[in-house]
Amino acid sequence: MILGAKEIYRLIKENKLVVHPLFDDTIRENGVDLRIGGEYAVYTHSGIVVNPCKLNDSEMRRLFRTVSEDEIPIPPKSFVLLTTYEYVKLPDDVVGLVNLRSTLARLGLIIPPTIIDAGFEGNVTIEVVNVSSNTIVLKKFMRFLHVVLARTEGAVPYEGKYKGQTGVRPPKGLKEEC
């Protein structure tokens, strides 16, 4: 079941769902809109071979440079890792289905299918890809994500490496998993 605005307000009032800070335009008809945070990450190298199965967390982090700027230029055919300004905490029985706001998608930006797991808390890091032939400039604090909240049954609360993250977070290495 997708949660509407009245249920989202109820969960926030009961402190079961946290979106901090909460702005007047955060809660929408069927979800929440989140803003771009104060930093983003870009690859430090170009044209190299990246094999996540051969990299641990610190080696993976070295592939990215974190930038703190008010404007985020996304060149054609490239991507950035953005973080949300808001810190979110989902209840153990609610997941977030993350979508890019359609206005930005109409410019040529896309994000991969993304789910915020039940029980997750932290700033959300999201990959934004520019598939257009133009550089698109985003701004800190602009609404960029729409998260549809849905109830889930039998979920195991998220306890992964990204729980509690603040700011933008490069990917983890997969060396231990491969």
Token look-up 């945070």 returns: 37
Give catalytic status of residue 39 as yes or no.
no
Q: What is the separation of C-alpha 134 from the centre of its chain, rounded to a whole number of angstroms?
A: 23
Longest dimension (CA), the chain: 49
Cβ-Cβ contacts under 8 Å for 10 (sequence gap 6 or more): none
A 10 A CB-CB count for 69 gives 11
Catalytically annotated residue among 39, 59, 127, 153: 127
Backbone angles phi, psi at 127, to 5 degrees: -90, 125
Q: How far apart are CA 80 and CA 72, in angstroms?
A: 9
Catalytic residue annotation: 127
